[in-house]
Structure 1
Amino acid sequence: MASDNLAGESRASQVQAACIAFFVLSPLFVGARIFARVKVRSWSGLSWDDGTLVVGWIFSIILSAMVMLSCASGFGKHIETVTDFNDTKDLSLILKYNYLAEIFYKLSINTTKASIILFYLRRFVTNWFKIACYVMLGVVLSFMVATTVGTIAQCTPIEKSWLAPGGSCIDIKAFWYANSGISILINVIMLALPFQPIHASSLPGGQKVALTIVFAIGAFTTITGVIRMQTFEWAGLDYTYNVDWLMWTVIETNLAILCGCVPVYRPLMAYIFPKQFATTSKIRPGDNRRNTLAVFSRSEVSLAPSARAKRMSRISIMPHRKPGGWDHDSEKGLDDLPLPAPPGIRDPNAPPRRSSMLRDAYVWLNTVI
């Protein structure tokens, strides 16, 4: 009777639900990211960070497929109902699928991290920050190679990983703990990197807070990594029934991809909701206005038009920009928008137009503020 009760228990649906959910969500997020890039700069807007994230997403799909096949083979049931002492065929098949899932987990999570670092390099311009990103990129790629090779060669011969007779294996649980601990440390460093450049930028306070929140979304990946690490203690007890570690593996991998897509969505939101996400209500990228901001005294405004234009060309300065801030060049942010001249100052070569001083002052103040 007890055996019959055990045979009816299965936790496979928990893992399958996570896989199916991300089978739906991940393509939507990745597709929206590609659309946002292409909408801003056509296909030339795509770069290495987009390509590596797509590769990481493909690895995550293979990971989820291996997990689904493992569940179809009996993963999620009690180990007593999966096999007995005379037949370990089903357990061997489950271990083989889980072995492949672990390999693609290492490839997917680290490729996604590399994509995020490449995104940093595309958006921030400070020299020290670029050097730090290149160092982190080297660490992530080296860690990916080391952990992938370590997972493949965790047993000698390799077939020992799915219960082949003979040979030996490393302490697999200790290897899991070491891999997760280093991965979480890398996540924390990557989360901390953008805060200083954002703080040093010339963006308004509200935009700084918004950017900080966007990049802090990656903390969810770190949290899932910590939760996954805590499930290792029970992974070896009734191995096929304790599915938590594999379920959180799927969640962590796909959540990293989703978080990696979010910072790219501002142009997409501006396209869907132009009023809510427009940088300014009066100036648009591509306007043919002078990219200058001049300061004039009352006496200088009374000068003849030609003298004012000459004076303007001498004292005009580029809009102030703190070094090492957020780089809007590829998305035409606030710092890159051309600003009109102050009211009363016009280019003498410009065609005549009917406009009151009051309207000119309103447009100028609304643009600068």
Structure 2
Amino acid sequence: MSVSDLLHVFWLLPTAFVSISTCATMRRFNIAWLPVWLAMSKTMTMAAEVPETVPGLLAIIPQCAMSCVMDTIQVGNCSIASIKSLEECVCPSIALQSALSDCVQLSCHFEDQVKAVGVEAAVCAAYPKPSRSKEVKTIAMVFTIVTFPIVGLRFLSRWTATSGFWWDDWTVLAAIVFLAGLAGIEIASAELGFGMHYWHVKPENGTILLQLFYAVQMLYILIQVFAKMSILLFFSRIFQVRWFLVTVRAFTAFLILHGLLFVLLVAFQCMPVSSVWDRSNDNRTCINMTAVGYAGAAFSIIEDLVIMALPIPELLKLQLTKKKKIALAIIFSLGSFACVTSMIRLKYLVMFMGTLDTTWDNVDIVIWSIIDSFCCILCASLLALPPLVLKLSKFFRHHWSQMSTRVSSTNNNKSRQSTLSIPGSKGFEKMPRSPEEGGYPMSPLSPQGNDKGVDTITISDGFDSGRDLESLSIDRRV
């Protein structure tokens, strides 16, 4: 391992972040890439001048790919009478193009692969090219829109509850920063051709895609480590039992060491490091990244199961209300979903082991890696939301109570304007307060002796039929 290899690693990660805003920063010209760029330039020239005859077309195909082309023609039972008949046989068939691409990748040097891809692109330029790039961009955008506000609410909840932050907050902040980089890189990769078949990707984008994928592998590991550390640190704040704290610290140390090991394995998967994306280097030596991927996925699943099981003994000791039990069940179900996403991701790793159509077959792996990363951070953030939810529920209950009081008061005021009815009578209406306001005289009530006056009954504003007619007043007229 040389100093230049270390510089390549530490240069590439920040450069990958910059590529989110502009992919041009990734297109640094390196003398080691000169043969590749020359081959690409030559390929573009050939693409603009497709021969009109089959012999002319075969003449510009690299010699190493000739046997692959003839085998494809034979398997597809294609006619070579004309360029038109040949392209009508090969271009609509993904199976034939896939077999041809695999054969060329296994038979040719990288420069010759670029030439062969250029010829295929020129011949099949008029045919539709399947793409799953939109799926990658949609998943990254949707989960970003959902996750980032929830992380913001987590910090708001912590600030309103304690007016400060702790290590579990800072670790989830680090995870969300790495997640922003991962989501941005995946969107940029989709724009460059990730999600299309390998032979449909523009040759000039191949190196950039390899660099971005190299950076994403390390970002995924860092997100997993920091998000799970945040959950463990949060647990250690709640359960202050000795055995629990010791277990959490030991498991956190394991997470850090395991994460560091896998980051180093990914960073130095090939020597020299630049050969990870510079496939023209004939002296490159690489480790088995398929085995590393399997091991990493297995560790991730085990870690998810341990984190879910760790607090259960302490939770069973708590006397919780039904609502709190439901809330905990929801949070733990999300944690189990994160574990399920890791299992699905492992399934796709196994399914596409050794694939040569990497830009198409790795779409499912990348999508479930994105979902897995977002779920880890969501789980870490939801655990800290109950204080904020409690405050908001109190706020809404208080305002609902005030609103109900106002509505009740309004209804009471309306009832004061209603007609007062006495059983067995025809009823009488509320009278104005004074004769000047148009008072209405009524028949005398139980006249006594020679009293010939007229009694007028009025109802004061505070009348309540439930208080024995206390609000009734009698005005005497003689």
Name the structure 2 match of 1:104: 219
Asked whether 1:223 is paired with 2:223, we answer no
| Alignment partner, residue 17 of structure 1 | 138
2-side partners of 1:213 and 1:66: how far apart? 31
Deviation track 1:5-29 (CA, whole Å, cap 9, x = no partner) reads 7652110011100111122122101
C-alpha deviations, 1:279-312, integer Å up to 9, x for none? xxxxxxxxxxxxxxxxxxxxxxxxxxxxxxxxxx
Matched, 1:152 2:270: no
Q: Equivalents in 2 of 1:79, 1:171: separation in Å?
A: 21
Q: Which residue pairs with 2:360 in the alignment?
A: 241
Report Cα offsets for 1:3-56 as digits up to 9, x if no partner.
3576521100111001111221221010010111111222x2x11101100100
- Deviation, structure 1 residue 185: 0.5
Superposition misfits of 4+ residues, deviation over 4 angstroms: 4-7, 275-278
Q: Please, what TM-score do these two structures have when normalized by structure 2?
A: 0.54
Q: Is the 8 A contact 2:218 2:267 kept in 1?
A: yes
Match among 35, 42, 46 for residue 156 of structure 2: 35
**Partner residue in 1 for 2:247:** 132
The superposition leaves residues 209-248 of structure 1 with CA deviations (integer Å, 9 ceiling, x where unpaired) of 5424423421111111111111112262411112111111
Q: Tell me the CA shift for residue 270 of structure 1.
A: 1.1
Name the residue aligned to 1:311: none
Are 2:324 and 1:207 equivalent residues in the alignment? Answer: yes
Distance 1:144 1:41, change over 3 A: same
- For the structure 1 residues 160 and 7, does the alpha-carbon distance in structure 2 shift closer, same or farther, using more than 3 Å as the test? farther
2:190 maps to a residue whose letter is C
**Residue 177 of structure 2 corresponds to residue 58 of structure 1:** yes
Instruction: Please state if 1:261 is matched with 2:381.
Output: yes
Deviation by residue 1:69-109 (Cα, 9 ceiling, x = unmatched): 211221111111115xxxx4422221111110111111111
Consecutive unaligned residues in structure 2, runs of 5 or more: 1-87, 92-123, 399-478
* Distance in structure 1 (CA, Å) of the matches to 2:232 and 2:134: 35
Aligned-partner residue type, residue 222 of structure 1: C
* Structure 2: distance between partners of 1:185 and 1:202: 29
Q: Judge conservation of contact 2:334–2:375 (CA < 8 Å) in 1.
A: no
Question: 2:210: which partner in 1?
Answer: 95
- On the 8 A contact 1:198/1:208 being kept in 2, the answer is no
For 1:203 and 1:181, locate their aligned partners in 2 and report how far apart those are by CA, in whole Å: 34
Question: Given residue 272 of structure 2, which amino acid in structure 1 is its aligned partner?
Answer: P
Match of 2:358, SS state, is coil
| 2:196 aligned counterpart, secondary structure | coil
Q: Tell me, yes or no, if the aligned pair for 2:172 and 2:377 is still in contact at 8 Å.
A: yes
Q: Which residue of 2 aligns with 1:67?
A: 186
1:223, 1:277 → 2: CA distance? 37
What amino acid is the match of 1:110? Answer: V
Q: In 2, are the aligned partners of 1:199 and 1:208 still within 8 Å (CA)?
A: no
Shifted more, 109-118 versus 199-208: the winner is 199-208
Sort the Cα spacing of 1:7 and 1:161 in 2 relative to 1 into closer, same or farther, 3 A. Answer: farther
Amino acid in the other structure paired with 1:215: F
Q: Quick check: which has more Rg, 1 or 2?
A: 2
